[in-house]
C-alpha cells in the first residue's frame, strides 16, 4: 500500500503545483498565442508518448494512430456536449465550474476507454501479422473509423435532444459537416496534468517487468517467446494502453478546439505522431517529449519567419535525412539524462555531435552508397 | 441488370488501373520486402507531368492527335521512371542494410516530400486542375443498355499489354531471372555474380513507369487532377497496395487478380450499398483476407516471387 502511495506521489505533487499555477493565472502570462501553442504541444506529447508504447517499446509498427485519437475526440466531445445539455440544460452547452469539471474528467476517461476498446480490436490482428502488414491493417482501421464517423448525422440542438434517448445521441456526431459548439474547457492545468500522468506511467512501465517484456518483444520476438514472454498478450496490452492515451489526447483536443472535423484525423496526423516517436528515438520518453515540442512548435516558428508553405517539405526532408544520418533518433532508446551523464555521457555527446572529420566521412560514405553500383 | 453490368465494366477498368499500380508495389516488395509508400506519389507525378507537358506543348482542352497524346504519355512515363530511379538512389539505397522500420519511415518521408514539394506554387500548384483530354473519353457505343467507352477499351487493352510485357520480362529474360533470384535470396544472388544494385534500380524504374501510365489514364478518365498533396492520391495508391496484398504480395498474377477483385468490389459496394462506405468496405476486405490468409490469395500457391 505504501508502495502504491509512493508511486502516486510525483503525480500528486505535480498536479498540486499545476493547480496552484492555474489558480494564480500563471498560464495567461505566456500570452494567448503562446498559451495556445503550449496546449497543442501538451496534447501532442500525450499522442507521441502513447504511440511510443506500441512503436517504441513493443516494436509493432502502427500507422493508424489518428483513428484512436478521432474516436476519443468524438466520444469526449459528445459526452460534454450532450451531457451539458441534458444535465444543465444550457445552450450553447457550457460546463459549470465544479460539477462541470467532474463531467470533463468523466468524458476524458470515457474517450480513453472507447479508444482502448478499439485498440483491443486492432491489437487482435497483430497476433497474426507482422511489420508492414500490421502497419497497413492499422492504417485500414483508422480509415474505417474515420469513414464511419464521417457518416454520422448532424449534431442536435437543445430542442431536438429531448426527443431522443440518451444512447441514440451517439448517432448525431455531425460527421458529415462539423461537430461544433463543444464546450471549450481544456486548459493548461488539465493538459499538463494528463502529460504528467502519461510521463510517469510510461517511465514506470519502461522500468517494470511489463515494460521489459514489451522491449523484449521489440528486440526479438522469437527469443522473447522462448524466455517465456507471452508475446501476443503484451502486444495487445501495448495497443490497448496506447489507444487509451490517444483517446484521452483526442478528448483534450476536442474540448480545446471546440469543433471537430473528421477529415482532420487523416494519414497526415498519424504520420505526425510517427515522426515524433522516430525523431525522439523509439522507446525514449524524454526523446519523444522533446520531439513533440520540436514538431509542434516548428510550424509556429516557420510561420514567424515566413516559411510556412515549406513546413511539410522541411519536415519530410528532415525525416529522410534523419533516417540516413541518425536512424536511432535523437536519443536512441536512452533517456536524455543518461545520454549526457558522466564520462560515458560526454563520449556519447561527442558521438552525438560528431567532429568535422566524422561529418565529412559520413557524407562521403553516403555519397559512395548513392553512386556505387 | 444493365446497372449491374455497368458497375462491373467500370469496376473492371478501375481494377486494371489498380493492377498496374499494384505491380509496382509487388515488384518492390518482392525484392526489398518493404512498402514503397512513395509509389502512390509516382502515380500522382505521372498524371501531373502529363499535365505539365501538355501545357508546354500548348495543347488545348479539346481532342488532340494520337501522336501528341502518345508523345505526352511517353515523356511522362520516362520522367517518372527517372524519379523512381532517383528516389531509389538517394533515399533507399543508403539504407539497404538498415532495419526495415527505418526504410519504411524513409519511404513515408519521401512520399510526404514529393507531395508537398510538388504542390508548391512554382511546381504544380496547390489547386485542382483540368486534365487535357488526350483522347475522346466520351465516344463509345451501347451494348444492351450498358455504355461502353472506347477509352475504357483502350485502357484495358493498354493495361493488359503492359502486364503481358512485364510478365514476359520477368519470366523470359535474364533481367527477370535476376529479379526472381534476388527476391528468392538477395545474398546468394549477389554471391552468384548478379549485380543486385543495378537490378533493384531497374525494378524501381519499371514499377514507376507502370505507375505513371496508370496515373495518366486515371487523370484522363476523370478529366481533372486533384492537387498533388490531396489525400485522394494517397488513398488511390493505398487501394492499389491493398490489391497487391489481397492478391498475395510478390506475385504478378496476384496483383492482377487482386486489382480486378478490389476494383469490382469497390464499384459493386458503391452501387448497391453506399458510395460513402465503399472505401471502408475495401479496407474491410483487406483485413478479412489478412486474418484468414495472411499471405494473400496467390501468396502460397505462387511459389515464384518477383
| Adjacent-strand bridge partners of B142 | B147
pLDDT tens digits along B249-290: 888 888 999 999 999 999 999 888 888 888 888 888 888 888
Answer yes or no: do A134 and A186 share one domain. Answer: yes
Say whether both A219 and A139 belong to one domain. Answer: yes
Considering the domain architecture, whether residues A160 and A306 belong to the same structural domain is answered as: no
Q: What is the DSSP letter of A54?
A: I
Beta-ladder partners of B27: none
A316 and A206 belong to one structural domain: no
What mean pLDDT, rounded, does chain B reach? 86
DSSP chain B: -HHHHHHHHHHHHHHHHHHHHHHHHHHHHHHH-S--TTHHHHHHHHHHHHHHHHHHTT--SS---HHHHHHHHHHHHHHHHHHHHHHIIIIIGGGTTS-HHHHHHHHHHHHHHHHHHHTSTTTT-SS-EEPP-SS-SS-EEEETTEEEEHHHHHHHHHHHHHHHHHHHHHHHSHHHHHHHHHHH-HHHHHHTT--HHHHHHHHHHHHHHHHHHHHHHHHHHHSEE--TT-HHHHHHHHHHHHHHHHH-TT-HHHHHHHHHHHHHHHHHHHHHT-GGGHHHHHHHHHHHHHHH-TT-SSTTT-----
Q: CB contacts < 8 Å between A and B, how many?
A: 124
CA distances from A332 to A117, A280, A323 (A): 31, 7, 12
A17 assigned to some structural domain? no
Q: What is the pLDDT of residue B303?
A: 40
In this structure, the answer to whether residues A57 and A46 fall within a common structural domain is yes
Q: At which of A217, A236, A265 does a domain end?
A: A265
Closest to B114 (Cα-Cα) out of B254, B211, B221: B211
Q: Do residues A118 and A200 share a domain?
A: yes
Structural domain including A214 reads 30-265
Residues A125 and A140 in one domain: yes
Packing angle of the helix pair A188-207, A99-123 (nearest 10 deg): 40
Other CB atoms within 10 Å distance of the CB of residue A249: 35
Using the 8-state DSSP alphabet, how is residue A124 labeled? Answer: G
Domain count of the fold of chain A: 2
**H or E segment and range at residue A353:** helix A342-353
Does residue B265 lie within any of the structural domains?
no
Domain containing residue B71? 17-228
One domain for residues A66 and A205: yes
Residue B292 is assigned to a structural domain of this protein: no
- A248 and A295 together in one domain: no
* Domains of chain B: total: 1
Residue A242 lies in a domain: yes
Could you tell me which chain B residue has the CA closest to the CA of A314? B113
- Residue B260 forms part of a structural domain: no
Q: What is the distance between the alpha carbons of residues B111 and B38, in angstroms, rounded to a whole number?
A: 4
* Model pLDDT, residue B145: 79
Residue B271 within any structural domain of the chain: no
Shortest distance between the Cα of B147 and any Cα of chain A, in A, equals: 31
Minimum-distance CB partner of A313 among B35, B116, B287:
B116
Residue A364 belongs to some domain of the structure: yes
Residues A213 and A336 in one domain: no
Q: Choose the closest CB to B291 out of A59, A125, A136.
A: A125
Instruction: Give, for all 373 residues of chain A, the pLDDT tens digit.
Output: 566 667 777 777 877 777 777 777 776 777 778 788 889 999 999 999 999 999 889 888 888 899 999 999 999 998 888 888 888 877 777 878 778 888 888 999 999 999 999 999 888 877 777 777 788 888 888 988 988 898 888 888 777 777 777 777 777 787 778 888 888 888 888 889 999 899 989 988 988 999 899 999 888 888 888 889 888 889 999 999 999 999 999 999 999 988 888 888 888 788 888 888 888 888 889 889 999 998 888 877 887 787 777 878 887 888 888 888 777 777 777 777 776 666 766 666 666 666 777 778 878 888 888 877 5
User: Residues A53, A151: one domain?
Assistant: yes
Q: Tell me whether residue B249 is in a domain.
A: no
Contact residues, chain B, for A267 at CB < 8 Å: 231, 234
CB contact under 8 A, B95 and A327: yes
Is B21 inside a domain boundary? Answer: yes
**Looking at chain B, how many residues does it have?**
306
Last residue of a domain, one of A249, A265, A281: A265
Evaluate whether residue B242 is within a structural domain: no
β-strands B146-149, B129-130: how paired?
Answer: unpaired
Q: Which of A308, A321, A272 is nearest to B120 (CA)?
A: A308
In a domain, A12, yes or no: no
Specify whether A315 is located in the same domain as A329. Answer: yes
Which of A291-295, B33-37, B161-165, B175-179 shows the lowest mean pLDDT across its residues? B33-37
Cβ-based neighbour number of residue A322 at 10 Å: 20
Residue B289 within a domain: no
Give me the pLDDT at residue A1, please. Answer: 52
What tens digit of pLDDT does each residue of B39-97 get? 999 999 999 999 898 888 877 666 567 788 888 899 999 999 999 999 999 988 888 88
Distance from CA of B254 to the nearest CA of A (A): 16
Cβ separation A323–B198 shorter than 8 A: no
Amino acid at each position: 500500500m505504501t508502495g502504491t502511495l509512493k508511486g502516486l506521489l510525483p503525480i500528486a505533487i505535480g498536479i498540486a503545483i499545476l493547480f496552484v499555477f492555474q489558480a494564480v493565472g500563471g498560464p495567461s502570462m505566456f500570452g494567448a498565442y503562446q498559451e495556445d501553442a503550449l496546449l497543442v504541444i501538451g496534447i501532442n506529447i500525450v499522442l507521441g508518448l502513447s504511440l511510443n508504447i506500441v512503436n517504441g517499446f513493443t516494436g509493432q509498427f502502427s500507422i493508424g494512430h489518428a483513428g484512436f485519437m478521432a474516436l476519443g475526440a468524438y466520444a469526449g466531445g459528445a459526452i460534454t456536449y450532450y451531457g451539458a445539455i441534458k444535465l444543465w440544460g444550457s445552450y450553447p452547452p457550457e460546463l459549470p465550474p465544479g460539477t462541470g469539471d467532474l463531467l470533463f474528467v468523466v468524458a476524458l476517461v470515457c474517450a480513453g476507454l472507447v479508444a482502448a476498446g478499439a485498440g483491443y480490436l486492432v491489437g487482435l490482428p497483430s497476433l497474426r501479422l507482422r511489420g508492414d502488414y500490421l502497419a497497413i491493417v492499422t492504417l485500414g482501421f483508422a480509415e474505417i473509423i474515420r469513414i464511419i464517423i464521417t457518416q454520422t448525422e448532424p449534431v442536435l440542438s437543445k430542442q431536438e435532444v429531448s426527443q431522443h434517448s440518451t444512447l441514440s445521441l451517439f448517432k448525431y456526431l455531425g460527421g458529415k459537416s462539423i461537430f461544433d459548439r463543444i464546450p471549450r474547457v481544456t486548459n493548461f492545468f488539465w493538459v499538463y496534468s494528463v502529460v504528467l500522468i502519461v510521463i510517469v506511467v510510461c517511465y514506470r512501465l519502461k522500468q517494470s517487468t511489463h515494460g521489459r517484456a514489451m522491449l523484449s518483444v521489440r528486440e526479438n520476438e522469437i527469443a522473447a517467446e522462448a524466455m517465456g514472454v507471452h508475446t501476443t498478450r503484451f502486444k495487445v496490452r501495448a495497443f490497448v494502453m496506447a489507444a487509451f492515451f490517444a483517446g484521452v489526447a483526442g478528448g483534450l483536443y476536442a474540448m480545446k478546439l471546440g469543433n471537430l472535423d473528421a477529415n482532420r484525423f487523416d494519414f497526415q496526423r498519424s504520420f505526425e505522431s510517427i515522426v515524433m516517436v522516430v525523431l525522439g528515438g523509439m522507446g525514449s520518453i524524454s526523446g519523444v517529449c522533446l520531439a513533440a515540442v520540436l514538431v509542434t512548435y516548428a510550424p509556429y516558428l516557420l510561420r514567424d519567419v515566413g516559411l510556412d508553405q515549406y513546413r511539410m517539405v522541411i519536415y519530410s526532408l528532415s525525416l529522410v535525412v534523419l533516417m540516413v544520418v541518425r536512424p536511432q533518433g535523437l536519443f536512441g532508446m536512452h533517456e536524455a539524462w543518461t545520454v549526457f551523464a558522466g564520462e560515458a555521457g560526454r563520449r556519447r555527446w561527442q558521438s552525438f555531435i560528431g567532429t568535422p572529420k566524422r561529418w565529412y566521412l559520413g557524407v562521403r560514405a553516403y555519397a559512395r552508397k548513392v553512386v556505387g553500383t | 441488370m444493365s446497372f449491374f453490368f455497368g458497375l462491373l465494366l467500370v469496376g473492371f477498368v478501375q481494377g486494371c488501373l489498380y493492377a498496374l499500380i499494384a505491380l509496382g508495389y509487388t515488384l518492390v516488395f518482392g525484392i526489398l520486402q518493404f512498402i514503397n509508400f512513395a509509389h502512390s506519389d509516382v502515380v500522382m507525378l505521372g498524371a501531373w507531368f502529363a499535365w505539365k507537358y501538355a501545357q508546354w506543348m500548348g495543347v488545348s482542352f479539346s481532342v488532340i492527335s494520337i501522336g501528341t497524346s502518345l508523345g505526352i504519355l511517353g515523356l511522362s512515363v520516362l520522367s517518372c521512371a527517372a524519379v523512381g530511379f532517383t528516389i531509389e538512389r538517394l533515399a533507399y539505397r543508403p539504407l539497404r542494410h538498415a532495419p526495415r522500420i527505418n526504410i519504411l519511415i524513409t519511404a513515408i518521408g519521401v512520399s510526404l516530400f514529393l507531395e508537398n514539394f510538388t504542390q508548391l506554387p512554382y511546381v504544380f500548384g496547390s489547386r485542382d486542375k483540368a486534365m487535357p483530354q488526350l483522347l475522346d473519353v466520351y465516344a463509345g457505343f451501347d451494348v444492351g443498355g450498358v455504355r461502353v467507352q472506347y477509352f475504357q477499351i483502350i485502357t484495358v487493352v493498354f493495361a493488359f499489354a503492359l502486364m503481358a510485357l512485364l510478365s514476359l520480362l520477368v519470366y523470359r529474360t535474364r533481367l527477370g531471372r535476376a529479379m526472381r533470384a534476388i527476391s528468392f535470396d538477395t545474398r546468394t544472388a549477389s554471391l552468384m555474380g548478379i549485380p543486385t544494385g543495378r537490378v533493384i534500380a531497374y525494378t524501381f524504374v519499371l514499377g514507376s513507369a507502370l505507375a505513371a501510365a496508370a496515373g495518366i489514364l486515371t487523370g484522363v478518365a476523370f478529366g481533372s487532377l486533384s492537387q498533388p498533396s490531396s489525400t485522394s492520391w494517397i488513398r488511390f495508391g493505398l487501394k492499389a497496395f491493398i490489391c497487391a496484398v489481397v492478391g498475395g504480395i510478390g506475385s504478378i498474377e496476384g496483383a492482377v487478380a487482386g486489382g480486378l477483385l478490389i476494383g469490382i468490389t469497390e464499384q459493386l459496394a458503391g452501387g448497391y450499398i453506399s458510395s460513402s462506405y465503399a472505401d471502408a468496405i475495401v479496407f474491410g476486405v483487406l483485413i478479412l483476407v489478412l486474418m484468414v490468409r495472411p499471405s494473400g490469395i496467390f501468396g502460397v500457391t505462387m511459389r515464384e516471387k518477383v
